[in-house]
A and B are shown apart, each in its own frame.
Chain A
């Protein structure tokens, strides 16, 4: 029911709309243009009217003059000539006018007057001459009037009121004369005159309508043509733009395809159901399958069966979140059965309706990399054990000798064993520092943070480094005790930082100097600073002081020990504990090294 109504409605709607289109098209015509066209048509016909009037007038004058009031006929002829001349002048004036559109109503009025005058001149002839004419002449005149009236139809067709005026001008006096002639036949003829008049006017009216409609259509068509032309131009411009856009899209598409095709990493285009749509050359090489062996099949061919369940889970997650995943490690079987580990970046392509239309998977073989990482880890661990064990024996032996528990040794031998112990220790420090840096940089250093008072930490560090200070004849002194200052940090690692700063300060201060340690609040942080009386940090060294294997003066390394890694480790450790580290020149000479850690809210 509803459907039928709709169908009917739409059908009717179509018809209405066709009418509407026609109306709309006609309405596009400018009325003043249409009027101007009609006026032009009327004026174009004027020469015919003038010529017909002149010729018919001449014949009539010739025919009538001999019989009755010769002068009167000549006067009438003069009138006709004058009218014709006036009409010619009017025509001339019209053609001289530049603005035929704006002045069209005015020209129409003048033409109306001229037509009335023309008709009236014939009417005058009928009214004045008819009664006194012979029968034959009367027939001639009647014939002439009928002819002249009909000539008016094509001449004034573009404006039926003008024709009506013109024909009325001819026929009205004639009608009156016939009616009052006193002859029954003439009365009957007279009664036919209005009938013919009405018919003629009706024909003229119809013709006017045709003209009017024609001109309207013509102008509407002109307008349409114009609209059509500008529409065409616009379309052409848009086509050019579209073509350019398409060219650009194609170019970038080709570029992208080239990127994917030539990329050193495997690129797979997958359909949302996991079917492989396209693969690049790198993917073929990586997995050992030809493209046509993969395309059209499920991507699970590249996943070990025991991981299919996990793959399905990840795939669902991908389709649901519509967000790309990076760093997904998957064990992929090659065609030859060898298993490789690939790291995948998977990106869903989403259309405007937020539907996943494709998934781009980019994979890189990381098997060798993982193996290298494993070997590095193993190497580090081995280094750690295999180097420390002999060092334990070396340093241990020397320590036992140097501590004197084995009895006194000769002075010079004692000096040498001291040198040996010190350098053994340095080697051990270096190994420890390298392992530390390695651990920190590979992100494998696990901190065990605890809340502790900063003062306690400073005291512990001073106790630990007391012997070191004594060796360099430097005394550590702390200032600014405040037990309520606490930080959340790894005790062992923070002590390592403190030990580095204190031993540096001791090494680079002159004998007998005091190294001050201060703790203070710095905004939301606690700042621990170690102030030395050294020679300061050389300008060239300042920017790389926290870098690896850097020491201001390589001779200092030999004289004072140290690995050149200490401050690099300190910086990384402090930053791992969300703090920062730095140094300032000290007024009066020396340097202050400081670190700040976020203060733990009690």
Chain B
């Protein structure tokens, strides 16, 4: 478990409605600071500026999907160590297993409950090794 509590979240998502719900859930229920990115190609720049504790990626996005972005993050030293959680509506168990093996911290399936989302993220955060 990392020493500090989970606070700063960067969320990459193309659907504005879901962006809004996640932002409200994390801010209102979870009392966290949230930065939402609509364009995955801008994500790394935002992350470098915002410096989140954890990154949440939508799986299916136009232009660039979550797994591709994730692999790019892994290639960059400034983002390679960040814990990444996927939010997905359709991934098969095999896809999830593959992501886990690539180093994803966890997955949350759509539809998620905004009431429980902060709790789910904190549980994933708590399971991370201290070094993070």
Contact = CB atoms under 8 A, between A and B. Distances in A.
B25 A384 contact: no
B90 A381 contact: yes
B25, B60, B114, B115 pick with most chain A CB within 10 angstroms:
B114
B71 interface: no
A405 interface: yes
A403 interface: yes
B112 A396 contact: yes
A389 B15 contact: yes
A395 interface: yes
Contact of B89 (A392, A405, A406): A392
Contact of A446 (B17, B18, B93, B113): B93
B5 interface: no
A397 to B, nearest CB: 6
Interface in A394-412: 395-397, 399-400, 403, 405-406
B115 A388 contact: no
Contacts of A389: 15, 18, 89, 110
A220 B18 CA distance: 114
Contact of A388 (B24, B25, B110): B110
A428 interface: yes
Given A399-B113, A400-B114, A406 B18 contact: no
Contacts of B21: 392-393, 396-397, 400
B62 interface: no
Interface residues of B, number: 19
B122 interface: no
A392 B90 CA distance: 13
Nearest to A387: B89
A391 interface: yes
B29 interface: yes
A393 B24 contact: no
B129 interface: no
A408 to B, nearest CB: 14
Nearest to A393: B17
Contacts of B28: 400, 405-406
Main secondary structure on A side of the interface with B? helix
Interface in A373-391: 381, 384-385, 388-391
Contact of A403 (B22, B110, B111, B115): B115
A406 B29 CA distance: 9
B113 to A, nearest CB: 6
Given A392-B110, A393-B18, A400 B93 contact: no
Given A392-B18, A393-B21, A396-B18, A385 B112 contact: no
Contacts of B115: 399-400, 403, 405
Contacts of A393: 15, 17-18, 21
B114 A399 contact: yes
Indicate the member of B93, B110, B111 with the most A CB atoms within 10 Å. Answer: B111
A384 B93 contact: no
Contacts of A195: none
A448 interface: yes
Interface string A441-464: 000001010000000000000000
Nearest to B89: A388
B62 to A, nearest CB: 13
B111 A395 contact: yes
Nearest to B19: A393
A395 B18 CA distance: 11
Given A396-B112, A396-B114, A406 B24 contact: yes
A406 B115 CA distance: 11
Interface in B1-42: 15, 17-18, 21-22, 24-25, 28-29
Contacts of B89: 384-385, 388-389, 392
Given A389-B18, A392-B18, A405 B111 contact: no
Contacts of A399: 113-115
B93 A448 contact: yes
Interface string B50-93: 00000000001000000000000000000000000000011001
A399 B114 CA distance: 7
Contacts of A397: 17, 21
B15 A400 contact: no
B77 to A, nearest CB: 34
Nearest to A431: B111
A406 B113 CA distance: 15
Contact of B90 (A385, A396, A406): A385
A266 B93 CA distance: 40
Contacts of A385: 60, 89-90
A396 B113 contact: yes
Contacts of B90: 381, 384-385, 388
B47 to A, nearest CB: 24
Contacts of A405: 24, 28-29, 115
Taking each of A381, A385, A393, which has the highest tally of chain B beta carbons within 10 Å of its own beta carbon? A393
A390 B111 CA distance: 9
A388 B90 CA distance: 9
A162 B115 CA distance: 140
Contacts of B25: 396, 400
Contact of A392 (B29, B93, B111): B111
Interface string A209-226: 000000000000000000
B24 A400 contact: yes
- Sort A-B residue pairs by CB-CB distance and give the 8 closest, nearest first: A392-B111, A396-B21, A393-B17, A388-B89, A405-B28, A385-B90, A396-B114, A403-B115
16 contacts: A388-B111, A389-B15, A389-B89, A390-B17, A392-B89, A392-B111, A393-B21, A396-B112, A396-B114, A399-B113, A400-B21, A400-B24, A400-B25, A400-B114, A400-B115, A405-B29
Given A399-B115, A405-B24, 18 more contacts: A389-B15, A390-B17, A392-B21, A392-B110, A392-B111, A393-B15, A393-B17, A396-B22, A396-B114, A397-B21, A399-B113, A400-B21, A400-B24, A400-B25, A400-B29, A400-B114, A403-B29, A406-B24
